[in-house]
């Protein structure tokens, strides 16, 4: 998400890599701690027997602190899920907004809220699209999103990096891409493999 708001960040060349690496480390530590905590209460062999994956943490808290605390933790998990969706909507709303500012998308998407100074039309449009997707089965949504993101984002990013370096070699670059062009070529091959193995 931090990449979508790169234009609003001070010193993005330093801040974005730090934010990405730090968030990966923090999430990894939290995830490992959560799994160790769960396995300390619910044995791994018991998880496959009647315990739905989505309720594991709630069951662990219920077994440790009682059912009332399990309800609190379940509400916090739901709150986190909603917060995640809100953060993603806020981040993704910057994409059509930035494209509209550059003249590459409909001008209405460049509109900012008069008081709060955020891309309101872009945010509402993405929210409307997200609401429409709520009427489909989760498996269909995930499959569609994987294909759409691979084709429209990941593949084009790899091609874009290579084309940009060929066409604009003099352009200042705040990030160094080690072993260029190997990383984009490997990523391109990996995303194509995922795309064709899913279809």
pTM for the structure as a whole: 0.67
Instruction: For residues 65 and 73, give the distance between their C-alpha atoms in angstroms, rounded to a whole number.
Output: 11
Q: Does 53 have pLDDT greater than 70?
A: no
Q: What is the mean pLDDT of residues 113-128?
A: 92
What integer pLDDT is reported at residue 48 of this predicted model?
63
Q: Does 109 have pLDDT greater than 90?
A: yes
What integer pLDDT is reported at residue 52 of this predicted model?
60
Q: Does 173 have pLDDT greater than 90?
A: no
What integer pLDDT is reported at residue 112 of this predicted model?
92
Q: For the CA atoms of the chain, what is the radius of gyration?
A: 21
> Where does the pLDDT of residue 106 fall: very low under 50, low under 70, confident under 90, or very high at 90 and above?
very high
In this structure, what are the phi and psi dihedrals at residue 177, rounded to the nearest 5 degrees?
A: -105, 105
110-126 per-residue burial string, b: 16 or more CB within 10 A, e: under 16 = beeeeeeeebbbbbebb
């Amino acid at each position: 998400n931090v990449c979508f708001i790169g234009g609003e960040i001070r010193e993005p060349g330093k801040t974005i890599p730090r934010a990405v690496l730090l968030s990966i480390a923090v999430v990894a530590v939290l995830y490992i701690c959560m799994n160790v905590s769960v396995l300390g209460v619910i044995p791994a062999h018991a998880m496959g027997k009647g315990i739905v994956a989505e309720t594991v943490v709630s069951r662990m808290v219920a077994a440790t602190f009682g059912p009332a605390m399990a309800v609190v933790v379940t509400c916090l998990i739901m709150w986190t899920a909603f917060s995640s969706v809100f953060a993603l909507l806020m981040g993704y709303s910057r994409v059509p907004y930035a494209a509209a500012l550059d003249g590459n998308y409909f001008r209405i998407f460049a509109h900012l809220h008069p008081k709060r100074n955020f891309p309101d039309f872009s945010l509402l449009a993405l929210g409307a699209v997200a609401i429409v997707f709520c009427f489909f089965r989760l498996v269909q949504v995930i499959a569609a999103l994987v294909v759409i993101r691979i084709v429209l984002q990941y593949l084009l990013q790899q091609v874009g990096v290579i084309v940009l370096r060929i066409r604009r070699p003099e352009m200042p670059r705040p990030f160094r891409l080690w072993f260029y062009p190997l990383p984009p070529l490997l990523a391109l091959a990996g995303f194509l493999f995922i795309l064709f193995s899913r279809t």
